[in-house]
Structure formats: structure tokens, C-alpha cells
Homo-oligomer: A and B are copies of this chain.
């Protein structure tokens, strides 16, 4: 649990950034914004080809046996590129659940498919505004799921879904194949996230954990996904910091680069501060995954990641002036992604309350 990246991790960071830069296409991403139900195929092919789907899968199941640190670094590169598919984070959530739950048969059945990119994962915990409802309305009985989950990221095209439901005795965490569920595409401001309302009507599903074990596993999965998302947010925020910096050096007003005006200059310095604080929290959180410190560290990373990406999106656009709000220029790709990532895995209010409860023992 070192807080300094080793050579292998640095290589993953550099390589993932390199390959995404090489294959980036703003036009493709802009087109996706106006197409409900489409994601960025080329990006996802890259992810599979690069083995990102296999990163956290144990070697005996055809994976690379790596963990949150490595996945975080990939997510950071994806965030910088406003990656056009939502499967990486929930895919990791499903993977971690399968690896941890101790159901050898399910692990053996699904993990190789996930590693190979044949099965894409979605995670359906939330109902209404509850990120992890105490007693979910979605029910599980006799091996079958009933109920619905609104606007699940990646839900429209994933093959597997990890569902938080109510069982006979308390909550259960189950895994189901989405072929057996009804999906309705949700038209959103960030359409490549493939949000879908999922309806289960007797959908076959298998139990990963029950009762208290289910709750702690679900929390762990959620916290880990939040840390991956925080890395993605840092990547996006850092990209915006650099875009703003470069524009401030190039663009002239009143006869000098706008970067020479303190309002622009100091705003960019503040962006830098938010990015570095969030990055430091991400590195720490990934390093302490699996320890008692993790939940608090995950909340710290998530809160600062969201603040950094939101603020950088606001300020980078502002620094650009008129050009910053055009469709073609594309800064709104980050602005939209900042919003979708701020909501996926639970908003600021949720994580503030969770953190304070962990720190003070006082529930909201």
C-alpha cells in the first residue's frame, strides 16, 4: 500500500493516456451526445484490447490480478478523454463483488467473460434518490428478481447487472443477466453513459451475499466504484486545467495574453489546487483499499474529485469566453461528464453524510 506509484503503475498511466490520445475523436463524442442509446465503440474496443477489463480479475480467471491503483490510473486517463462508454467502473464493481463474495461457481462462470470483455457489467443499487436504500423496493425470491431500477449507467447495453434488492430475510446482493430484463433507454445530457430504466419481472438471478454481509459488500463495492470515479474526475479536471492554461497563454485581450490577468491566473492556480488535493486523496484511497481506513479515504477522494471536476468545468469554460460555449469547441463534453459523474455513485450530500457518520458516529 505504497503512496508512490511503482514502475509498472507508471507504465499503465502513460500507456493508457497515450493510446487514448492517439485514438481520441471529439467529433465522434459530440455526435454521441445527440444519439440516445449509442456508445463509443472504438473506445470500448480499445479498453478490451488494452486489457482494462481484465485488470482487477484474478489471474486464475484470466485476468491480470491487479487492483484499484491500476484501475484508477486507467480511469484517470479515461476521464481526461471523456471516454465514451460507461462500463469500466461498474464492470470493476461487478468484478470486485464476484471476487469477494466467495461464490466459486459464479466467479468461475462470469469473471473470465468480464476479463475478455464479453460480459459488460452494470451496477443497480439506487432507487429514487437513495443511493443504497435500506430496504429496496426491488425484491428477490425463489431465484427471481422483481421491480425496477431507474437510469442505471450502462444499463442499456451491459450483459451483467449487480442488483441491490430485498430478500426473504433482509437485503441481498444478486447478479443477473440483463438479457432477462426489460430496458428502457433514458435520454440524457450525456447519452453515451447509456442510462436505462431496468425492469425485472421474474428475472433469474444468483445470490452473492445476504443480510449484513450483503450490506458491507455493497458498501465496499460502492466505495470502490466511487474511488474509480474520483480518479476519472481528477483526469477530467486535470485535462481542463491544461486546456485553460494553454488557452490563457495563447488568447490575447487588451494586447496581452489573458493569462497575464490575475483573475484568469489565480483562477487557474485554484484549479491546480483542487486537482492536486483530489489526486492526493485518490492515491491514498487506492492505497488503503481493504483496510479500515478505506471508507473514509474513499469519501475524501469522492468529495474532492467532484468539487475539482465541477469547478474546473465551470472555470475553464468561463476563461474561454464565447468560444467556450460553442458546440464544436466541445468543452461541454467535460461539463456534461462532470455532472453525470457527480451524480453516479452518489452525490456530494450522500458522501458528506457518509463521511461524517464514519468520523463522528452520528447519522444524518
A positions within 8 Å CB-CB of B:
261-264, 266
Contacts and interface: CB of A to CB of B under 8 A. Distances in A.
Nearest to A263: B262
A263 B267 CA distance: 10
Contacts of A261: 262
Q: Is the interface of A mostly helix, strand, loop or mixed?
A: helix
A262 B259 CA distance: 12
A260 to B, nearest CB: 10
7 A-B pairs closest in CB distance: A262-B262, A262-B263, A261-B262, A263-B266, A263-B263, A262-B266, A262-B264
Contacts of A262: 261-264, 266
Contacts of A264: 262
Contacts of A263: 262-263, 266
A268 to B, nearest CB: 12
A17 to B, nearest CB: 33
Nearest to A266: B263
A63 B291 CA distance: 72
A225 to B, nearest CB: 33
A233 B266 CA distance: 29
A261 B261 CA distance: 8
A114 to B, nearest CB: 46
Nearest to A261: B262
A43 B261 CA distance: 45
A264 B263 CA distance: 9
A263 B269 CA distance: 12
A263 B261 CA distance: 9
A141 B262 CA distance: 64
A262 B265 CA distance: 10
